[in-house]
């Protein structure tokens, strides 16, 4: 039965004002001031002026856990379905990380397919930090063509003591293979790049792109807000046509050490003339974060998808124009960077991945993914592919 959501203030992510949104099957069928329907049976939901926005597209998550740096006991846990849903993340993009030995792409694939079965619309990268690239089928191009949720490669680490110190030629080959796989399968074929705190920053990407036929958008660097210097380099990269990604999860000690909080970084990038549609924000959920108490390192904790929602909560009292920029960074921009052009927008024909957000309380009450409510009135839907929540 179609669902008509009325009295919603829509950010598509563009601010459309109060609209009605019609959902049929897994798609948005119409967005208009008034949707005229004749003779249809219809479920009508009154949003009561709440904001309706696309489900978040989280371009870097670690659903099967991450960490493991500093010993086996520092591995982090899986990120549960409920954590993504309550954060409004309808399309988490899963990646391995530093450790591709005690975790594998097969395990990541299993996690991604479980989330999909439970009702989300997740995707994954093949590869890990390492070069040569770990793959499922033995070949990057083949992974993209043959494995449904694989949409790119990543996160390949550069400018980091934990990286494989890849050469420009190696990166060029990875991007070319990903691009060919994407071309054959109709996917983005993007290479997500983990930027560490090494002094090389983005130099290797510039070197890789020089004398190549690859577009700059073949590489999608993340953790660009790790320092002011890295952010400046990323601004230049984005002004040249790339998409760049900011990491929302952090700890106070990182900020003290010079990390720029994601929302502040977004403002600074726009002030520096970076096109607003080229900046995205991701959670790095499942990645490890240091845990301090009174300045003393106690161990590790894990980043959570909820930081995506916290970014929106922090921006909700701003003017509509800036809110639209923030929503774009959480939805349409990462979707475009990854070639997921049916995701991250509210418009006819797009996936019905929708959030209802109360700007007064900052609460996310309702989450729809692929036309099905996963959260209604802050309660999880009982339909979760037969798995206990
Ligand atoms: Zn990373």
Average pLDDT over residues 238-266: 95
For the chain, give the mean pLDDT.
95
Å from CA of 156 to ligand 1 middle = 8
Å from CA of 126 to ligand 1 middle = 14
Contact 37/6 with Cβ under 8 angstroms?
A: no
Shared-domain flag, residues 12 and 82: no
Contact 289/303 with Cβ under 8 angstroms?
A: yes
Given the residues 134, 177, 284, 366, select the one marked as catalytic: 284
CA proximity to 280, closest of 190, 168, 163: 190
**pLDDT above 60 for 389:** no
Å from CA of 97 to ligand 1 middle = 7
Shared-domain flag, residues 332 and 356: no
| Predicted pLDDT at 39 | 67
| Predicted pLDDT at 384 | 54
**pLDDT above 50 for 386:** no
Alpha helices in 214-343 (DSSP H): 228-239, 252-256, 262-271, 306-315, 320-330, 332-337
| Predicted pLDDT at 66 | 86
Shared-domain flag, residues 109 and 39: no
**pLDDT above 60 for 246:** yes
Shared-domain flag, residues 326 and 350: no
CATH of the domain at 37: 2.30.40.10
Shared-domain flag, residues 159 and 22: no
Shared-domain flag, residues 360 and 292: no
Rounded to an integer, what distance in angstroms lies between the CA atom of residue 211 and that of residue 217? Answer: 15
Shared-domain flag, residues 38 and 99: no
* pTM recorded for the entire structure: 0.96
Is 366 among the residues known to form the active site? no
Å from CA of 225 to ligand 1 middle = 12
For 172-211, the pLDDT digits (tens) are: 999 999 999 999 999 999 999 999 999 999 999 999 999 8
CATH of the domain at 138: 3.20.20.140
For 14-38, the pLDDT digits (tens) are: 999 999 999 999 999 999 999 988 7
For residue 209, the number of C-alpha atoms closer than 13 Å in the C-beta half-sphere is 16
3-state SS assignment for residue 271: helix
Helix (H) or strand (E) holding 112: helix 105-117
Rounded to an integer, what distance in angstroms lies between the CA atom of residue 60 and that of residue 281? Answer: 9
For 104-155, the pLDDT digits (tens) are: 999 999 999 999 999 999 999 999 999 999 999 999 999 999 999 999 999 9
Give me the domain span that covers residue 17: 3-53+345-380
**pLDDT above 80 for 368:** yes
């Amino acid at each position: 039965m179609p669902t008509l959501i009325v009295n919603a203030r829509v950010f598509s992510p563009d601010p459309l004002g109060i609209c009605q949104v019609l959902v049929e099957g897994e798609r948005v069928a119409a967005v208009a001031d008034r949707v005229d329907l004749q003779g249809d049976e219809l479920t009508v939901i009154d949003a009561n002026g709440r904001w309706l926005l696309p489900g978040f597209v989280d371009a870097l998550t670690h659903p099967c856990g991450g960490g493991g740096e500093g010993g086996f006991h520092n591995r982090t846990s899986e990120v549960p379905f409920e954590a993504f849903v309550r954060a409004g993340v309808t399309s988490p993009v899963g990646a391995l990380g530093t450790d591709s030995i005690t975790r594998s792409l097969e395990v990541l694939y299993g996690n991604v397919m479980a989330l999909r079965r439970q009702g989300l619309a997740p995707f994954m990268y093949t590869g890990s930090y390492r070069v040569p690239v770990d793959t499922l089928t033995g070949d990057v191009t083949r992974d993209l063509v043959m494995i449904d949720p694989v949409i790119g490669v990543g996160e390949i680490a550069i400018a980091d003591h934990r990286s494989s110190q890849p050469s420009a030629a190696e990166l060029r080959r990875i991007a070319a293979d990903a691009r060919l796989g994407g071309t054959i399968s109709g996917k983005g074929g993007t290479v997500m790049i983990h930027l560490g705190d090494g002094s090389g920053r983005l130099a290797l990407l510039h070197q890789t792109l020089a004398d190549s036929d690859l577009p700059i958008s073949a590489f999608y660097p993340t953790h660009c807000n790790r320092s002011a210097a890295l952010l400046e380099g990323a601004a230049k990269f984005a002004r040249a046509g790339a998409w760049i990604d900011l990491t929302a999860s952090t700890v106070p000690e990182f900020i003290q050490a010079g990390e720029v909080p994601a929302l502040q970084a977004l403002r600074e990038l726009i002030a520096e003339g970076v096109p607003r549609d080229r900046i995205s924000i991701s959670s790095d959920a499942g990645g490890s974060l240091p845990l301090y108490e009174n300045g003393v390192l106690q161990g590790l904790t894990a980043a959570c998808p909820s930081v995506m929602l916290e970014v929106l909560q922090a921006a909700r009292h701003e003017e509509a124009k800036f809110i639209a920029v923030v929503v774009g960074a959480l939805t349409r921009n990462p979707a475009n960077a990854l070639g997921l052009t049916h995701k991250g927008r509210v418009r006819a024909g797009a996936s019905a991945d929708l959030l209802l957000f109360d700007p007064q309380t900052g609460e996310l009450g309702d989450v729809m993914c692929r036309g099905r409510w996963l959260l209604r009135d802050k309660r999880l839907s009982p339909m979760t592919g037969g798995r206990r929540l």
